Amino acid sequence: MNTSAPRAQILDRLRRQAADPGRRVLLTGAAVVTMDPRLGTLPKADLLIQGETIAAIGPGLAAQGAADGAVVIDAHGFILAPGFVDTHRHAWEAQLRRIMPDVDDLGDYVTSTLAGLAPAYTPHDVYVGTRLAALTALDGGITTLLDFSHNSRSAAHSDSAIQALADTGIRGVHASMRPHFGDWDGQWPGDLARLKDKYFSTDDRLLTLRMATLATDEIAGPDLAYGPGLARTARELGIGVSVDAVFGAPSSAAVMEWEKAGLLGPDVSLIHCTNLTADAWRAMGATGTNVALAPTSDAQIGLETAVPAIDEALAAGIRPGLSIDVEVALASDMFTQMRALLAIQRMRAVDAAYATEARPQRIGVADVLDLATASGARSIGLGDTTGSLTPGKQADLLLVGAEDLNTMPLNDPVGTLVLGADPRNIDAVFVAGNPRKWAGTVLDVDVTALGDEVRASRDNVLRAAGRA
């Protein structure tokens, strides 16, 4: 990043003024990818932050007086973009990363992780895993993380997961669910009311609350299956619902029942959605129900057809979000999700057209970047808050090096973000106008101490589960 003052001085000023709602930060000279269809991509422009929000975007803001009294960051040679939105990650598992890299199927994952290791987690282990996942998300440019926290064995486990999100400064969504297997306190879903009162009583915080649940009773029994009772609880609390393990004939039948009962809508996000029937997709599209895809999870673990349902979603008028899912077997970053989905969809389109006159539509780099940002935010109820660089929205944004070895020269900013860049190119990350990564380093974390804590937690879990 080019600056007229040393990087440390700029960071110090940013942090000293962090609590000032009138603080102004001006980023100048970047290639600005707004993901706002009204603003588009600006080859060279400025962005003004005031307090937590984006105040203005356009060329020449500095010359118009926006620099007066502002912290000025010269961003020539960088792409300025909205932060990524991860719509579904089981963050508590992070200290088990790649522990089963060649997982063969969903049953293998469920047996090993959810039945075998999850019951050994203490509240502290949940804190360690969730904090590691959130810090890694920030490092990779994910400014919003939905933590599908399905190991809430007690109120203390939930408190620890929420505290971990808060301690990292990420925009976090705590989606709470009781565990699939093993002993637990029986506090869910009743504990959702306590969580809302304790942590989510105002609308001006970085954290929001959702209910997490499953589509059917096949994995963990009927009380985890989304239906009238759980929907009533969520609506009484005024929170959204994220439904995992939505795939195949049983989930298709469940979707049709939810439509009849009036349980679908924009406050509901269905995860995976592989191998659903045409009728189920019609119901989802007609009700404005949201979808979260997990491209690498579907393909690598082999969920039903193993094909991410991007074509089916778009045909139903649904622009889904993207997600990481489980780090026990998958990559941790959004660049991988975008590239995997782009390659799989275009492969399907080419294959469908081979030796025929068919011309299936191919998605492009702008499509997958939208799914990773603006559409992802909408799919979890945060579309008015984040997901695009739009004046009035929260200043959740990235500065990505466009003159690094793997990104130079800059010919197409969107293409560079999707096909060329990776976490090493992310120089700065802002969440609500505050820096969380700066000069390529995540702030407020002692990586050595964190590593010691992560390894100790992993070892304790494995020992308690009889795996050490």
- Choosing from 353, 379, 405, the residue where a domain stops is 379
Domain assignment present for residue 340? The answer is yes
What is the tens place of the pLDDT at every residue in 17-69?
888 888 999 999 999 999 999 999 999 999 999 999 999 999 999 989 889 99
Instruction: Tell whether 183 and 288 lie within a shared domain.
Output: yes
Q: What CATH number is given to the structural domain containing 35?
A: 2.30.40.10
Query: What's the total number of domains in the chain?
Result: 2
Residues 95 and 61 in one domain: no
Of the three residues 362, 379, 396, the one that is the final residue of a domain is: 379
For residue 3, what pLDDT band results from cuts at 50, 70 and 90?
Answer: very low
Q: Residue type for 377, please?
A: A
Please tell me whether residues 248 and 361 are part of one structural domain.
yes
Same domain, 394 and 367: no
Q: pLDDT confidence of 416, banded at 50, 70, 90?
A: very high
pTM tops 0.95, yes or no: yes
Percent of the chain scored above 70 by pLDDT?
99
8 Å CB contact between 327 and 93: yes
The number of C-alpha atoms within 13 Å of 148 and in the hemisphere containing its C-beta is 25
277 and 201 belong to one structural domain: yes
Mean pLDDT value of segment 122-126? 98
Contact 172, 206 (CB under 8 A): yes
The CATH number of whichever domain residue 328 belongs to comes to: 3.20.20.140
User: Where does 110-149 have alpha helices with state H?
Assistant: 123-139
> Is residue 202 assigned to a domain?
yes
Maximum pairwise Cα distance, the chain: 65
Mean pLDDT confidence for 80-87: 98
Between 143 and 66, name the one with better pLDDT. 143
Residue 462 belongs to a domain: no
Both 332 and 184 in one domain: the answer is yes
Give the residue numbers spanning the domain of 221.
84-379
pLDDT at 468: 81
**Does 449 reside within a domain?**
no
201 vs 239: CA distance, rounded Å: 12
Residue 374 lies in a domain: yes
User: pLDDT at position 455, please?
Assistant: 98
Mean pLDDT, the chain, rounded, equals 95
Lowest average pLDDT, out of 105-109, 187-191, 440-444, goes to 105-109
Asked if 53 and 102 sit in the same domain, the reply is: no
Please identify, among 357, 379, 401, the residue that sits at the C-terminal boundary of a domain. Answer: 379
Question: How high is the pLDDT of residue 5?
Answer: 60
User: For residue 273, what pLDDT band results from cuts at 50, 70 and 90?
Assistant: very high
Residues 94 and 215 in one domain: yes
Q: Does 197 lie in the same domain as 130?
A: yes
Residue 170's pLDDT band, with cuts at 50, 70 and 90, is very high
Q: Does the residue 324 lie in any domain?
A: yes
* Ordered DSSP codes for 271-328: EEEET--HHHHHHHHHHT-EEEE-HHHIIIII-TT----HHHHHHTT---EE--B-TT
In the predicted model, what is the mean pLDDT of residues 243-263?
A: 97
Does any domain span residue 422? yes
Question: What percentage of the chain exceeds 90 in pLDDT?
Answer: 90
The answer to whether residues 45 and 96 belong to one domain is no
Are 230 and 322 part of one and the same domain? yes
391-409 per-position pLDDT tens digit: 999 999 999 999 999 999 9
For 9-28, the pLDDT digits (tens) are 999 989 988 888 889 999 99
> What sign for the dihedral angle of Cα 98, 101, 103, 108?
negative
What is d(CA 56, CA 46) in angstroms, rounded to the nearest whole number?
8
Task: Please indicate, yes or no, whether residues 247 and 344 belong to a single structural domain of this protein.
Answer: yes
The answer to whether residue 458 is domain-embedded is: no
